[in-house]
Amino acid sequence: MNRKILVALSGLAIAVPSQALVGLAVSAGLNSTTISGADQVLVGTSLPKAFPVGDTLVAHRGKLSGMTQLGLKAWLELPVIPVELEAASNIGWGYYQSTLTLNDASGSHPIPVDFAAPIPGQSKKPGQTPYFSMLNDVTLRYPILKLPPLSPIQPLKIWVGGGLTYAIASRVVEESDLQSLYGTAGSYTTPAAARTTFINNLTTNTVGGHLAVGAQLKIPVIPVALFIDGKWYLHVATSPAASKYPFVANAGLGFSILPDTPRLLLTSRGSAQLGAEPLSSLGAVDPC
């Protein structure tokens, strides 16, 4: 009987790749995006149009080095083609020190730009401005190695790939971003109103690409997958102050769904055959 069960399980492992595999996962990681520090004085032609001619806008920005990131992903493996399809969305966030001050004939007027990142659980950090980005990826993956070699069961897979990225990110306390935020001539009224304008027009977007490499561990018939991957992003910065080629590393846990998997069953004579019955059908095996 032990021999029959072993044959059945080995056959099941071999039969698994004959059907599409869908996976859903959550992840956490680190995003290497940096925001450069700078002190800028905007006056004359560099002064945003919203402010009165002759005034001076002084912008101070501290440096941001790296962000925390959380994400979701789904992937599809088809037995008839050698590549796999992945869709993922990751959001990263961090804070940098900043001040924004308008100087006119009556004195200096600070414009508050410290507020909480628009992410659940985040709170305001005095004197700090949030920066966040959402990276939405479509990736083609190509498995280059499955381990252990020469085994009918190869739970570890290493893949490489690349694809397109739709990036949404926040504007920064930076000259060109401020000119975009306050581009309506004569619209400035009060520092509080300028703060509201900053918050209400915080995000912008762009399209870029990425290269990727990853590893995935999934034991056949167990619907759980562990993975780690890294992505090098190309031209996803929406602000001149943000790094254009950040690297992101993620690790996560997912659930693999295997619909209508063919299974190797044992007949009462001990021979093997493929069928669509659940694995519990093995309970009918002749015990002799």
Structural domains in the chain? Answer: 1-19+263-288 (no CATH), 22-259 (2.40.160.20)
Handedness of CA 151, 155, 156, 161 (dihedral sign): positive
How would residue 277 be classed by pLDDT, with cut points 50, 70 and 90? very low
Q: Spell out the SS3 assignment of the chain.
A: CHHHHHHHHHHHHHHHHHCCEEEEEEEEEEEEEEECCEEEEECHHHCCCCCCCCCEEEEEECCEEEEEEEEEEEEEECCCCCCEEEEEEEEEEEEEEEEEEEEECCEEEECCCCCCCCCCCCCCCCCEEEEEEEEEEEEEEEEEEEECCCCCCCCEEEEEEEEEEEEEEECCCCHHHHHHHCCCCCCCCCHHHHHHHHHHCCEEEEEEEEEEEEEEEECCCCCEEEEEEEEEEECCCCCCCECCCCEEEEEEEEEEECCCCCEEEECCCCCEEEECCCHHHHHHCCCC
Name the pTM for this structure: 0.81
Residue 175: predicted pLDDT? 96
Which whole number is the average pLDDT over 177-202? Answer: 94
In sign, the C-alpha dihedral spanning 97, 102, 108, 110 is negative
Per-residue pLDDT, 278 = 43
Band of the pLDDT at 79, cuts 50, 70, 90?
confident
pLDDT grade for 19, boundaries at 50, 70 and 90 = low
